[in-house]
Structure 1
Amino acid sequence: MTESTGESGPAPTMSRRQVNEAFGGILIGMLVAVLSTSVINTSLPRIVTDLHGDQTTLTWVVTGSLLAVTVCTPIWGKLADLFSRRLLLHIALLIFMVGSLAAGFASEPTLMIAARLVQGIGTGGLITLSQIAISDIISPRERGKYMGVLGAVVVAGTAGGPLVGGLVTDTIGWRWNFYIVIPFAVVAMIVIQLKLILPRRKGTGRIDYIGSVLLTAAISTLLIWLSLGGKVFEWNSAVSWCMGIGTAVLIAVTLVVESKVKYPVLPLHMFRGKTFTLSIVASVCVGIVLYSVAIFISQYMQLSRGASATGAGLITLPQVAGNLIASTVVGGLISRTGHWKPWLITGASLLTVASILLSTLRVDTNIVVLFLALPLVGLALGMLLQNLVLVVQNATDVREIGAASSAAAFFRSLGGVLGVTMLGASLSARVDTEIENGLQESGIARSASGLTEGALPNIDTLSDPVRDIVESAYGQGVGEVFLISIPFAVIALICVIFLPNAVLGTKTGIEQLADIEQDEPADASTTLKVP
């Protein structure tokens, strides 16, 4: 089935004011998307307890949303190369609002996880389509300062969301973490409809239904296998082997199909470009560290240091400050000078140093370590996140900007899901071992400890000896999680060092498309270059 592409009609040239107004609507949509993934971080222990869940529930409330974001991101990107990007943004916002309402009304773990999956589908669309729409109306050279602001919103939302979520949870209840984003989503829809003016998109394309289904199945099977392995089934079991082999087969078949179809949902030919490949690998590694900090610092503060949800959120303020400074200042400097590579190298270096500092966390670690490491994380992510997308967009044929932008977001989200899943499993195993050893050394029977097998401990209800054991276990476990994350930060640094230092373009996506339509024959749109 061949689908025609097209917006609502030809777009007049947008003035600077119109661009800024449209960008404001996109920014609100992006903020909504980011808050959905971070605002519940400090509320997770409370949510899981109220819904009578366990550590697996906690992992899947986070992983379910990230899974949906990850698997649908390339699909949203491909659709953006075929259909009205404004319409797609509206659809993503609607899906997001439905998922948010369902999560707020959830009464048991399964319903909460399902709602988070729906919410994640909308979130994936918002994250992907926002960056694509920006490429339409802003040139790569000017995009630096806009990406800086967007990056500030992304990481400020990621880091500041836990603070907002903690305050909401401690005052009016955790369900309002899902309700409060809905009015902002409505405002974003109104602004985008009125201010985002895009041209009619010419040409035809085909939706890669088979590739979309295979990609979704492959990534979902991989993440479910990694999430449940060692908990629901043993790693060395028939179920585990079937899922592992099934994952490998699905990935192989997906790669074969995507290399053969004319309009793949994930164009593999892009990986022939050095810039694209290195940026994608760096994005995966940055995603692992980013989501690890967002999830596990909150658990460390509440389960190892006895902080409230609000207190766990407050600790993120230095990270928010670092991100705001780096994103806005560095973004402006990139637009002014055109030099982006030194900032990526600096950001990756800071991320490595921060990971090393966080790996020293224990129950008795001086809190100053966090106040040193978290600002470095904020500075690093402010320099890396959106600028990696900028580099990918700058090196990609404008006719595939949707697929390229979504690929960057897809692999960053994939890194986040893998990080939360694998590192969460590592944390759970380490905590269980430390608690068991501590109880044995203290002569406390498990049945008399007040701890429930598989459930998150409620620190406030434990006796002092057991509480000390649990807090020490989580301190040890979280420190080791960040020890594991150090190599990923180093890989990100190596990748950005070897990125080709390309000059940023000075034409918007709309202008580039106009040039192509003027200079090339009508059927040339199917022949795409690999930068």
Structure 2
Amino acid sequence: MSTEPDTTSTSSPAPGEGAMPHRHVMIVYFGLLLAMLMATLDSSIVATALPTIVGDLGGLSSIAWVGAAYILASSAVMPLAGKLGDLLGRKQVFVVSTVVFLAGSAACGAAQTMGQLIAFRVLQGIGAGGVMAAMFALTGDLFGPRERAKYQGYSAGVFALSAVGGPIAGGFFAEHVTWRWVFYVNLPIGAAALVLVALYLRGARRPERPRIDYLGMLLLSGALVCLVLLTNWAGSTYAWGSPTTVGLAVGGVALLVGWVVVERSAAEPVIPLGLFRDSTFDICNAVAFVGGLTGFGLVFFLPLYLQISAGAGATNSGLLLLPMMFGLMLASFGVGGAVAKSGRYKWYPAASMLVSAVAAFLMSTMTADTSRFLSGLYMFLLGVGAGLSQQVVVVAVQNAAPRADLGAATSTVTFSRMLGTSFGVSIFATVLTSRLTHEIPTYVPDGAANGIAANGGISPEALRRLPDTVRHGLAQAYAHALSPVFLIAGFVLLAGLAAAVFLKDITLEQRGWGAEEPPEAPSAPAHAAPQSS
């Protein structure tokens, strides 16, 4: 195996450290996949168990915070954890984050009140943000530029597995065991990941004490908290023009401006501003944001179509999403192998935006009478579109960024996708609610379902108890109200396509430092400008 370093590498092996055997590299990578399964599963497994949790602990008014607390904490921590990995070593960040996540999981399982559960979900989210940031950056450490696309594709497969299996597992635990196992199930998975990574990942010594940008971290964390709260509350909990929404928007912008000012003179900025001078970094973040906003944002609304317009049950609607997840996995694996073979990735993000746009426009034509085959085909196309770029943007950013900034660059593009998802859910929910106020009176003239349907709060069971005329009217109303949601997503994807076509045409090196050097070598100053490709 060649020992020629990656063109993005700015450092040399740590003194006294040898190469990691390939067997150890694969053991560590398997541990990282387990950690990813644990962190992503926890964002989906809780939803189906929430009614049971509320029945046991009470606190119905706080139910939304069980999920929001986790997302808020993990989103705010992720960019910070990426930078700490660059400074202190990604192995250290991974180990500490995993321990924090497991402690939070055990505490959530033992919670006696809703307040305790929400507080422990914050602890879980902090651990999850660190685990995800370290996991993606470590994958970039372990493998050369071309290999990264293939292995990042496997990560996409784990995500698809957790997205489908999480709700099913959550319902099973709540119904047949106890809801507390929704959290306890993390303990054996996380323990296995922790042991594999701690034993087999070789970390390098840090000869100098790093200078940590505490003020920059504080300002960025505050800005991210404002942005995530804004995307979760605007249009649902609070009106878009309410003082709370406006205050979060103004506060977020002010904190971001303050962060930029501080970072210009920081010795070790959280996200080096020089990264934004590289068009590859900017375009990949834009594509990740658009992909999160449309692809994963729409996932929250497809069950509404399947359950209310298409008449599927709750469990069956989850199974009907399988074509989308299959398309995502198929495209991710295929693109990973193709990039590993050719070293070229330029047109995959553009293809991703185009295929996803076609899928979204096709979905905008769905009605209550659309066949399961056609709706499944459209969802398959949406999954293919997401899979064409999900790992490519990470690989492209890792290839463009200096090795000293690999963790910060990787966590930034991952956060962009998460922020896009939050924005998508918020914007699409506002559009759906607005359209329902017009569509329901049109298809249910007597207003029989207005009270329970205007906010999207009708269950499949309640729907089946309604008279046939009301049920059919609601099915048509929801289908027509969702049509503009898909239509808007299609136009957003076209904007993403316009950006993606300007991605640089770069050939990845056949081999990088991967397993030939220890993944935790001392690095050059983290504020160095990215190398131009």
Whole-Å separation in 1 of the counterparts to 2:362 and 2:275 = 36
2:206 is the alignment partner of 1:206: no
Shift of residue 394, structure 1, vs aligned partner: 0.5
How far apart are residue 24 of structure 1 and its match?
Answer: 0.8
Q: Which position in structure 2 is the counterpart of 1:36?
A: 42
Matched, 1:483 2:484: no
Q: What's the counterpart of residue 397 of structure 2?
A: 392
Tell me the SS of whatever aligns to 2:210: strand
Select which of 120, 128, 146 maps to 2:125: 120
Residue 372 of structure 1 aligns with an amino acid whose one-letter code is L
Q: Which residue of 1 aligns with 2:457?
A: 456
Q: Over the residues paired in the alignment, what is the CA RMSD in angstroms? A: 3.4
Give 1:17's aligned amino acid: R
Counterpart amino acid of residue 457 in structure 2: L
**Percent of aligned pairs with the same residue?**
31
The match for 2:25 is 19
Structure 2 Cα separation of the partners of residues 218 and 438 of structure 1: 43
| Structure 1 residue 196 corresponds to structure 2 residue 201 | yes
CA distance in 2, matches of 1:77, 1:362: 44
Structure 2 vs 1, CA of residues 374 and 182 (structure 1 numbering), >3 Å: closer, same or farther? farther
**Range with greater deviation from structure 2 (477-486 or 261-270):** 477-486
Distance in 1, Cα, partners of 2:164 & 2:18: 38
1:316-335: per-residue Cα shift (whole Å, max 9, x none)?
Answer: 22223222222223212211
- Secondary structure of 1:502's partner? coil
Change (3 A) 1:436 1:459: farther
What SS does the corresponding residue of 1:161 show, helix, strand or coil? helix
Q: Does the Cα contact within 8 Å between 1:292 and 1:420 map onto a contact in 2?
A: yes
* Contact 1:166–1:312 (8 Å) recurs in 2: no
Amino acid corresponding to residue 483 of structure 2 in structure 1: G
CA 1:168/1:98 → structure 2, altered by over 3 Å: closer, same or farther? same
- Tell me whether 152-161 or 182-191 shows the greater mean CA deviation: 152-161
**Structure 2 counterparts to residues 366-445 of structure 1, below 5 A:** 366-431=371-436, 434-435=439-440, 441-442=445-446, 444=448
Q: CA deviation at 1:145?
A: 1.8
* Residue matched to 1:251: 256
* 1:501 matched residue in structure 2: 505
Assess, with a 3 A threshold, how the Cα gap between structure 1 residues 67 and 428 changes in structure 2: closer, same or farther: farther
User: Counterparts of 2:449 and 2:146 in 1: how far apart (Å)?
Assistant: 64
2:43 is paired with a residue of what secondary structure?
helix
Mapping of residues 62-461 of structure 1, within 5 Å: 62-104=67-109, 111-168=116-173, 171-172=176-177, 175-431=180-436, 434-435=439-440, 441-442=445-446, 444=448, 451=452, 456-461=457-462
Match of 1:197, SS state, is: coil
Provide the C-alpha distance between the structure 2 equivalents of 1:305 and 1:222, rounded to a whole number of angstroms.
34
Residue identity opposite 2:503 in structure 1 = L
* Mean Cα deviation higher: 353-362 or 108-117: 108-117
Structure 1 window deviating more from structure 2 (321-330 vs 470-479): it is 470-479
Does the 8 Å contact 2:436/2:454 carry over to 1?
Answer: no
| Contact 1:272–1:530 under 8 Å retained in 2 | no
Distance 1:91 1:445, change over 3 A: closer
Q: Residue 33 of structure 1: SS of its match in structure 2? A: helix
Unaligned runs of 5+ in 1: 1-6
- Counterparts in 2 of 1:242 and 1:142: CA distance versus 1, 3 Å: closer
Contact preservation (8 Å) 1:276, 1:395: yes
TM-score, normalising length: structure 1: 0.86
The one of the two structures with greater contact order (alpha-carbon pairs below 8 A, sep at least 6) is 2
Distance 1:433 1:41, change over 3 A: farther
Shift in CA distance, 307/476, structure 1 to aligned 2, threshold 3 Å: same
C-alpha distance 346-174 of structure 1, shift in aligned 2 (>3 A)? farther
Compared CA separation, residues 9 and 413, structure 1 to 2 (3 A): farther
Deviations 1:370-390 (A, max 9, x none): 210222222222221111100
Task: Return the offset for 1:404.
Answer: 0.7
Letter in 1 for 2:28: A
> Is the 8 Å Cα contact of residues 109 and 181 (structure 2) preserved in structure 1?
yes
Q: Distance in 2 between matches of 1:141 and 1:359?
A: 37
Tell me if the contact between 2:359 and 2:378 (Cα under 8 Å) persists in the aligned partners.
yes
Larger displacement relative to structure 2 (192-201 or 106-115): 106-115
Shift of 1:108: 6.5
Q: Which moved more, 1:282-291 or 1:336-345?
A: 336-345
**Deviation at 1:109?**
5.8
Contact 1:160 1:313 (8 Å CA) reproduced: no
Superposed displacement of residue 198, structure 1: 2.7
CA 1:235–1:285: 2 relative to 1, 3 Å: closer
CA distance in 2, matches of 1:524, 1:244: 33
Q: Which residue of structure 2 lines up, in the alignment, with residue 3 of structure 1? A: none
User: 2:42 is paired with a residue of what secondary structure?
Assistant: helix
5+ long unaligned stretches in structure 2: 1-12
